[in-house]
Structure 1
């Protein structure tokens, strides 16, 4: 597994990382109309784990490159893209629904916390597609921390 990775730069890895982030630019420009005035108390250790593994994933997916040829017909890539599309659909529901903050935590297609679940699954499948299992490991850890934090914020 480690013999298959080299230090380098992956444009595809950078694109994989940035695609879910693009919608956040729109969110900053068009914030919720009914945002809470107070911020929830969060577990600082979980926050540190979440933030550090997000950055480690980004570094791994961009700078640790598989020696294997990328297969653009891979089922892993397409499954990941389905979760990216679902993620964007949840955001469209929010924007078209009047930017109501409650829509951010509402179930989508029976999936609880879709804005926490869908991008994590997308990132995992895209890292598998790129044969970057180090990035997969970081995203699994991130996903656990991120979903706990999200659950606490929306419950």
Structure 2
């Protein structure tokens, strides 16, 4: 449970800070979000939190997947550091990070996927896949809208 709490803290703290530092025109893009992707994102977010905290088995031999998950979470924190140091425009939020497209959505999804493998937690893995479809889908839509507008 401690590993899950640490991962969730690393995920949520920058998002809480971001909620006070959103790009000025962020709400303009939110209005155009696909409702199905949004529903999948919300279902994925809730289920990832639940299965990260309450259904874990972190006593196994898949340590390499834990290392990958930790490295990904470090990259995620670095992505946020880059964003918070930027001018905080939509293009800053959706710019690639280390050649990873829509890194703010992709990196944490991958981190929790590897955490699910490490914990041999099929429910977490399924939840992450649902989250990935919604969250990454929404971010790709925003990215497309940003670069078509500008």
Q: TM class by shorter-chain length?
A: 0.7 to 0.9
Deviations 1:84-124 (A, max 9, x none): 11111111111112323311101111111111110100111
What is the aligned counterpart of 1:38 among 28, 33, 44? 28
Question: Is the aligned partner of 1:23 residue 2:14?
Answer: yes
The alignment's TM-score, normalised by the length of structure 2, stands at 0.84
Alignment-derived partner of residue 130 in structure 1: 119
Superposed CA RMSD = 2.0
Superposed CA deviations along residues 40-76 of structure 1, whole A, max 9, x for unmatched, are 412212211110121111111211132x6256x8111
**SS where residue 56 of structure 2 aligns?**
strand
Q: What 5-or-longer segments of structure 1 have no aligned partner?
A: 1-9
Give unpaired runs (5+ residues) of structure 2.
145-150
Alignment of 1:133-148 (within 5 A): 133-148=122-137
- Counterparts of 1:85-100 in structure 2, within 5 Å, are 85-100=74-89
TM-score, normalised by the number of residues in structure 1: 0.81
Task: Report the alpha carbon displacement of residue 150 of structure 1 after superposing the two structures with TM.
Answer: 0.9
Structure in which a larger fraction of residues adopt helix: 2
Matched, 1:53 2:49: no
- For residues 7-53 of structure 1, the C-alpha deviation after alignment (integer angstroms, 9 at most, x for no partner) is xxx23323222321111122123333x43452341221221111012
Residue 59 of structure 2 corresponds to residue 76 of structure 1: no
- The ranges of structure 1 where at least 4 consecutive aligned residues each deviate by more than 6 angstroms after the TM superposition are none
**Partners of 1:80 and 1:13 in 2: how far apart?**
11
Contact 1:94 1:104 in 2 (8 A): yes
Q: Distance in 1 between matches of 2:77 and 2:3?
A: 19
Structure 1 range deviating more: 10-19 or 130-139: 10-19
